[in-house]
Structure formats: C-alpha cells, structure tokens
Structure 1
Amino acid sequence: MAASPTPKLNANFPTLDAFQHLGPFAVALSGGADSTALLFACAKRWPGRVHAVHVHHGLQAAADGFEAHCVALCEGLHVPLVVQRVNAAHAVGESPEDAARQARYRALAEALKNNWGGQIKDMALAQHADDQVETLLLALSRGAGLPGLACMPAVAERHGVTYHRPWLDVPGEALREALRAAGQAWVEDPTNTDTRYTRNRIRAELLPVIEQAFPAFRQTFARSASHAAQAQTLLQEVAEQDLQIVGNPPAIKALQQLSEARQSNVLRLWLALEHSQASAAQLQALLVQVKACTTRGHNIDIKVGRGFVRRDRAVLRCYNL
C-alpha cells in the first residue's frame, strides 16, 4: 500500500472533461490504484454528484481489506457507497477471470437499480491504456475477430447501465503518480502478481519488452483497436441491411446470392439475435452446407454453440438446447 499523508486537493489527475455532461453518476470502486484515482478525481471535481459501488467478490482473504479501504475512502470524500456482495466462483470449464467479470457487471447494474432511487444510470470505470493493450494482446492470442480486437469502448451500454471509460489513453503509472502526489493511499490486489493468470503474465513479462522495442505502443495499439472498432461498426451495419434481404429466419436461396464473407457476417448477426454463437469452424461448416443446398432433399443439421442450425424447407432455423 502506498503512503497515506493528508490528501491534497490539487493533484494532477488526467482530464475528466468527458463527464461534464453527466448528472449524478457512480464510480466502480475496487480499492486498487486505478479506481481509487478515478473516485478521488471525480469527487474532488464534482462534490455531491458522485457515488460509488464496491463489489465484494469473496474470492480471497484480502477482500475484506478492499472493502475497508473503500469505506474509509468514501467516508473521507463524503461519497455515498454501496457494497455489493457476489458469488464469483467459476463453473467447470469457465475462466475465473470471465466468471468474476460477468458477476461484477451484474452486481454493478443491480446496485444502481436498487439504490439512490434507481435514478443513476451512468457508471465510471477506471480501465486505462495498459488495460487496453492487455485486452488487445489477449484477443490476438485467442485469434479473435474484429469484435475482440476492438477491445474496450470508451462508452458502452450493458444491463441498462451506460459505462464510461475516460482514461483509456492514460498509462496506469500516471494514475499512481497522481495518487502519490495527492498523498492518497490505495490497496494492492495480491493476485495481480500471480502470473498463472494470462493477463498478469502479459503485464509483468510482455509489456516491458514491448515498451523497450516500441515506446509509443500504447498509442499505436489503441489506434489499431479504434480502427477495428470502426470496421466492426461497418460490418454490423452491412449485416443489418443483409438481414433485411435474407429475412429472419434466413432464406437459403437469398443467402446464396451473397458473397461468402457477407453470408458469414449476416449469419453471425442472426445467431446473436437467436442467443447463439458459432465458432469459426462451426460457421465455416454451415457456409459449406448452405452453398451445397441446391436440392429439396439436402438436409442441414450443424452444431452451433449450445444448439443446432437446421434446414426447415426454404429457411434456416436455430434450435438452442
């Protein structure tokens, strides 16, 4: 934990001008350096407008210490705090990080819905440039498509909450330096140094090497993620237009009039609307069957996600298990 002299009011925190238009909003407060910096900066700039939500995951012994820090910090800043307790244990075959993230977003949405009259719909998140780079490298390691390579958006809606990430272009160390200058303490999550987790391994072992070779990597990687996000937006628009053409459920003959790339694009959208998701191999197998479907007797029965896509006379239908 960093030293904790009396906090100063004029610390040099990165800009928060993106929040100028917001009414009352909440900060997702873990107690770590990043979220502590975000809450501190917001509360000092807009006293009385800021609230906080701390999600207690209950996954490690240090969790009670995180909560105690958040309580003390919010009391000192006169920020209303809600502590939301969740069970973030992961299921068999599920990533612990993914399970915790999903539980956290559900908890944040529930906290806003059930507190402060349910009037707060905006939540500030403290992810920064290093987090964005780690997300991009994780996506590349998994062979992700454009949605994964687009990484984290500056503004996004989820579970009825609008999430804002104002510091995606700010290095993490800049936030720690601002906290030190302000004399504000934070807590260190002991799991952050556990390199069994891929994200931690990227942070500890890969980013220092990349920084030596490419000092401006945070800016250039962020630019690539932005290009991917823009391209994905265009693909989404094309898919929506093509879905109007092929119909829902998609007509096989209409699909066959599109290029394979557009077939793939529109089928991904259709499956998403059907609450299903195909792997690259499953989607390729479906495209092969759509192309071969030239007679009435040609059946299509492809495993997709947790269900199947089957031919129903002239159209495709999705059956989820």
Structure 2
Amino acid sequence: MAVSPTPKSANNSALAGAALLPPSFQPELPLAVALSGGADSTALLWACVQRWPGQVRAVHIHHGLQDAANLFEAHCRALCEQWQVPLVVCKVNARNEAGQSPEDAARRARYLAMSESVHQHPDLQGVKHIALAQHADDQVETLLLALSRGAGLPGLACMPSLWIRDGLQWHRPFLSLPGAKLRECLVQAGVSWIEDPTNQDEQFTRNRIRAQLLPALERAFPQFRETFARSASHAAEAQDILNDIAQVDLAGVMDNGMPNIKNLQLLSSARQSLVLRHWLKVQHQTTPSAAQLAELLSQIASCITRGHQLHLKVGRGYVRREGAGLTWTAES
C-alpha cells in the first residue's frame, strides 16, 4: 500500500532531508543507494539526493517473494523518475534452502545482487560506495535477536556503520536515528513510500520484537536506543581486539597451510575456540554452531595418536584430519 502524505515546502524539505545524514557520512561519489520502496530506504535516497544532486544512483532488488513485489518496483521507478535518479532493477531468486531461514536467504541474495550490479551494470560505473537504510530500531532488533539466540560478541556487535565487502564500501548512515524520525520527515516533505504487508506478520520474530518489545522498552527505558547502541559498540570493539589476537594465534598454529593439531593443543580451550572460528570464517567463509565447535574442540583434545581420525560437520561443510593438520571442505 502506498503512503502519500501532504507535501510541504520544497526548500524546507530539502534541508530536512540532507540533515538526516550524519556529518561523518562522507562517501566517495557517485553513490549507490539500496532502494526497496519502503519508508527507510526512501528517506535515505531522498536525503542523499538532496545532499549530492546528480551523484546518486539507486538499486532495487526484486525478490519475487510476494504479490506486492511488482508494486514495489513500479513505485521505485516512479520515484526515481521524479527525482531524476538512475535506477537499476535486479531480479533475484531469494528462495531459502533447507535449513536456511527466509530472512537469511533474502539477505544473502540482496548483497550478492547489489555487489554484482555495482561491478557489472553500466549505469553504476564508477560506484564504489553503497548506502543501506537500516536505522536505530533495526539495530535494537538485531541485538535482541542475538541475545535470544545466546550469541557471542560477533552477534552482540550487531550491524557496523561501515565495512568493506566484495571490494566495495558499505555504509549505514541511519543507525543513530529511530524509524519514526525518518517517517516523520517523509510526511513533512510529502514524500510517499510503500508499506510492506509482511511487516505486520508476527510469525516473523523481528516483527514480534517491533510490535511487542520496542513499545515496552520505550516506556521502561526511553533512551534504550542510545544505550543499546553503546553496548553494541563496546562488543564490536572487544571483537576487533579478539580478531587481532585470533589472527596472531592462527599464524602461530599454521603448518603447511593447515592448522596444526599439536600447535592447537598448546593453546587454552578458549584460544583454540577463538582461532578455529577465525580460521573457518576468514579462510572458508563459514561459521560453526556452538555445539559443532564444542565437539571439534573435544576431538582435537583426543588427537593424541597418529591413527585418531576426525571427521565432523562444521558450518556448511566438514572438518577432517589430514596428517598432522586440519582441513575444511564444503558440503557438496
């Protein structure tokens, strides 16, 4: 459903739009903005267009997962035509595989499509920076989801405001702003957006958090967005330090391109856990569950003879013993 507020002063709305962006957000131009057609991404595109007219491109990912997908695309096309913003539409298959959540499948498909389009589409030539519209409420939801799953520091660190992936710099300039502020600015400016009908479906955990927990937190702790964000920042700092330690430890245990079992056994259990997670993530782009990692540590401790075999499901593949070291291969 499209939301079409009453337009206000164009000059005032332009100032309000540019003011949404923090001074620290200084991307290299031209800039690509991920545009879904919803309020958050519409506010981001609007703000960026006001600050850098003629230097902004939009990318819309058509998931094809719901009947409203074509309406989202049509709205994005009309909006970009009105604002004279080049638009690239990417149609993706975001169906989830067995054991994969629909949200995770859609997220992975979006990032892959965004990266490929920026690298390959002629209308996005020269783009090296991409802006995404997640805001303070999304960050809180991410933290609460991580806590509900018993996540460690990587999960509690939540979403970074800036990171590098696939040779591109990705930005989240709205992480300090609540979603209500973005909608308020759009209403004042008379900018329309599309409401995603699935946002009201409380079978999705994020929607339950948004509908049930955030209002309660607002009443009990009015500053919860700022304090939660500070906690996430502390977790991210601590994780950065652990990553540095893990990198040093990994270099110390490697032998012939593999983590050496005897070298691993010289480390404490906590350091083994840290270095194995780092090895799996950095070299193989996979993440073990807590149970998988615990079993892997147990098996490593038992590797005291040459004949002890090791073959475990870890992340999206298998860890095997190969001579004195460990290898990981993806599941076929």
Shorter-chain TM-score above 0.5: yes
Aligned counterpart, 1:88: 94
Matched, 1:245 2:252: yes
Measured in 1, the distance between the counterparts of 2:8 and 2:220 equals 39
- Match runs of 1:220-259 below 5 Å: 220-247=227-254, 248-259=257-268
Residues 82/310 of structure 1: CA separation in 2 closer, same or farther (3 Å cut): closer
CA-CA distance at 1:155 after TM superposition: 0.7
Measured in 2, the distance between the counterparts of 1:84 and 1:9 equals 33
The one-character-per-residue Cα deviations of 1:18-38 (angstroms, maximum 9, x if unpaired) are: 333522101111111111111
Matched, 1:204 2:211: yes
The one-character-per-residue Cα deviations of 1:244-285 (angstroms, maximum 9, x if unpaired) are: 111141112211111111111111122221344322112111
Out of 267, 270, 277, which is 1:261 matched to?
270
Residues 274/36 of structure 1: CA separation in 2 closer, same or farther (3 Å cut): closer
Aligned counterpart, 1:156: 163
Measured in 2, the distance between the counterparts of 1:20 and 1:158 equals 18
Q: How many residues align?
A: 321
Residues 119/291 of structure 1: CA separation in 2 closer, same or farther (3 Å cut): same
C-alpha contact (below 8 Å) 1:126/1:166 kept by paired residues? yes
TM-score (normalizing by structure 1): 0.94
Out of 31, 40, 49, which is 1:43 matched to?
49
C-alpha contact (below 8 Å) 1:8/1:183 kept by paired residues? no
Aligned counterpart, 1:187: 194
Aligned counterpart, 2:297: 287
RMSD: 1.8
Residues 24/133 of structure 1: CA separation in 2 closer, same or farther (3 Å cut): same
CA-CA distance at 1:193 after TM superposition: 0.6
Partner SS state of residue 10, structure 1: helix
CA-CA distance at 1:58 after TM superposition: 1.4
The one-character-per-residue Cα deviations of 1:183-223 (angstroms, maximum 9, x if unpaired) are: 11111111111111111111011111111111111011111
Matched, 1:299 2:309: yes
Aligned counterpart, 1:63: 69
CA-CA distance at 1:110 after TM superposition: 2.0
CA-CA distance at 1:6 after TM superposition: 6.1
C-alpha contact (below 8 Å) 2:272/2:297 kept by paired residues? yes
C-alpha contact (below 8 Å) 1:6/1:184 kept by paired residues? no
Structure 1 gaps, min length 5: none
Partner SS state of residue 137, structure 1: helix
